[in-house]
Homo-oligomer: A and B are copies of this chain.
Amino acid sequence: MIDRELMRGAGPVAILKLLGHREMYGYELVEALETRTRGLLAMGQSTLYPLLYNLEAKGYIVSRWVEDGARPRKYYRLTSDGRKRLADDSRQWRDVATAMEALGIINGAEVALA
């Protein structure tokens, strides 16, 4: 399991990325993170739901209730602002990964950034 502080940086991007494909509901996201990342980025409901409310409040995602099936579900999808945010966050993650490699933390190479 991953540390809390690492999750702070990784959580939102992961959610935005998943919602970038198709609309999904909360419980589904919890399971998707568990299976798609083999538990590495797994987060509980008490982490996910507030995170979703936060992303919605900031306008990166929007929700709609669907009452068709057995239980009511709240589906979320990305807004255009959300796509921008996802693109920006992804760039930041690539940057950090680059820096981590430069320091020799991710890979053993440890070269100064040229």
Give Cα A109–Cα B57 distance, bound, in whole angstroms. Answer: 31
For the complex formed, measure the closest distance between the CB of A94 and the CB atoms of chain B, giving whole angstroms.
6
Q: Is the CB of A14 within 8 A of B98?
A: no
Give the number of times this chain occurs in the complex, counting copies.
Answer: 2
Find A6's partner among B2, B14, B96 (CB 8 Å cutoff).
Answer: B96
Instruction: Provide the A75-114 mask, 1 if CB < 8 A to any CB of B, else 0.
Output: 0000000000000011011111111101111100000110
**What chain B residues lie within 8 Å of A38 (beta carbons)?**
99, 102, 113
Find A40's partner among B5, B35, B96 (CB 8 Å cutoff).
Answer: B96
Q: Which 7 A-B pairs have the closest CB atoms?
A: A6-B9, A37-B99, A40-B99, A38-B113, A5-B8, A41-B99, A9-B9
- A-side residues, CB < 8 A to B, are 2-3, 5-10, 12-14, 17-18, 35-38, 40-41, 89-90, 92-100, 102-106, 112-113
